[in-house]
């Protein structure tokens, strides 16, 4: 469990925390938990989410376990800077839906002494790095990777398999549209785009199994 790294020097220092993983892994639940702890500590907090995420509520951030916390929906990452005046902790949910400028926004807030907590999917439904999350993981002081349970075999799941819908990258949905899968079960359904055997052969490298 993440423990806040508060400084006892009296100076206010900012940092970035990233909570990432597949769908149904508890990312939003963990974000809400950390934000509520900050509120209990009487810190000034504000939580943001992308306007397009209206699955549970237009304004509140809601976890799959139906825990909620009020939020400010924003269309673009830059809007967060306009609304984050005089706060100590900023929470950002479903961060994968924001554009790459979110990385600069988060770093700007952290450099100003704000604790920034970001939650989002680290991979899209094809198993590729998703949106600004990889860059945020690289620049964050703390990264927590959470996992779901594979619905096929019961192992730890880190993939979000799309059950139906279009081929668009952004497709809002819940259990009717996605299921968490482990690596083995995911790649049985969604084979890698690169055939590693052929690629290794082209590079003159023998496959370890051969």
DSSP H or E stretch at residue 181: strand 178-181
29 contacts 56 by C-beta, under 8 angstroms = no
Tell me the pLDDT tens digit for each residue of 122-155: 999 999 999 999 999 999 999 999 999 999 999 9
Which tens digits make up the pLDDT trace of 151-178?
999 999 999 999 876 666 566 555 568 8
Report residue 170 as tokens: 């952004």
> Could you give all domains of the chain from N- to C-terminal order, each with its CATH number?
15-202 (3.40.50.300)
- Residue pair 145/25 in contact by the 8 Å Cβ criterion: no
Helix (H) or strand (E) holding 118: strand 115-121
Q: How many CB atoms lie within 10 A of CB 139?
A: 13
Torsion, Cα of 201, 203, 206, 208 (10° steps): -100
Residue 139's SS3 state is: helix
Higher model confidence: residue 200 or residue 129? 129
Quick one: pLDDT at residue 61? 63
Instruction: Check residue 4 and give its pLDDT.
Output: 65
Active site residue 94: yes
Active-site residue, selected from the candidate residues 17, 30, 46, 94: 94
Given a contact cutoff of 8 angstroms between Cβ atoms, the answer to whether 31 and 117 are in contact is yes
pLDDT digits (tens, 9 = 90+) for 42-75: 999 999 999 886 555 545 565 555 566 778 899 9
Whole-prediction pTM: 0.81
């Amino acid at each position: 469990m993440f423990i806040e790294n508060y400084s006892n020097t009296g100076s206010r220092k900012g940092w970035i925390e990233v909570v990432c993983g597949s769908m149904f892994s508890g990312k939003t639940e963990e974000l809400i938990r950390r934000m509520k702890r900050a509120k209990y500590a009487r810190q000034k907090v504000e939580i943001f989410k992308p306007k397009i995420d209206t699955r549970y509520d237009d304004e509140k951030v809601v976890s799959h376990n139906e825990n909620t916390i009020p939020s400010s929906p924003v269309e673009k990452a830059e809007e967060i800077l306009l609304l984050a005046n005089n706060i100590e902790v900023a929470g950002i949910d479903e961060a994968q839906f924001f554009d790459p400028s979110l990385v600069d926004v988060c770093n700007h807030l952290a450099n100003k002494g704000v604790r920034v907590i970001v939650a989002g999917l680290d991979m899209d439904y094809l198993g590729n790095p998703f949106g600004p999350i990889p860059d945020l993981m690289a620049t964050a002081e703390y990264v927590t990777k959470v996992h779901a349970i594979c619905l096929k075999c019961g192992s730890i799941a880190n993939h979000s398999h799309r059950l139906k819908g279009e081929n668009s990258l952004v497709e809002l949905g819940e259990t009717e549209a996605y299921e968490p899968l482990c690596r083995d079960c995911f790649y049985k359904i969604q084979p890698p785009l690169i055939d590693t055997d052929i690629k290794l052969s082209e590079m003159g490298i023998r496959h370890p199994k051969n």
